[in-house]
Amino acid sequence: MADRIPVTNVDIAREFRLRHLAGSPVAAITNPALRICLVNCAELRMKHAKSEQPTPDGKRLAAGDTD
């Protein structure tokens, strides 16, 4: 899988807080099963956020069409 987004411990802790899970974010980072789940969730969140912001091509920018 060449298109995997790198996920840091900070991203995992953020995902832990966003999902309102019980316990400590540090425990989530050290627990392998929970870490895998949170990494996948963080990757999906990043891909979704990235896809919502398409970049216009050069012709559209030159024409002033930024919608």
Distance in Å from the first CA to the final CA of the chain: 33
The type of residue at 24 is S
- Average pLDDT of each block of 10 consecutive residues along the chain (67 residues)? 80 91 88 93 88 69 68
Query: Which residue has 């870490």 as its token pair?
Result: 35
What is residue 52's predicted lDDT score, i.e. its pLDDT? Answer: 67
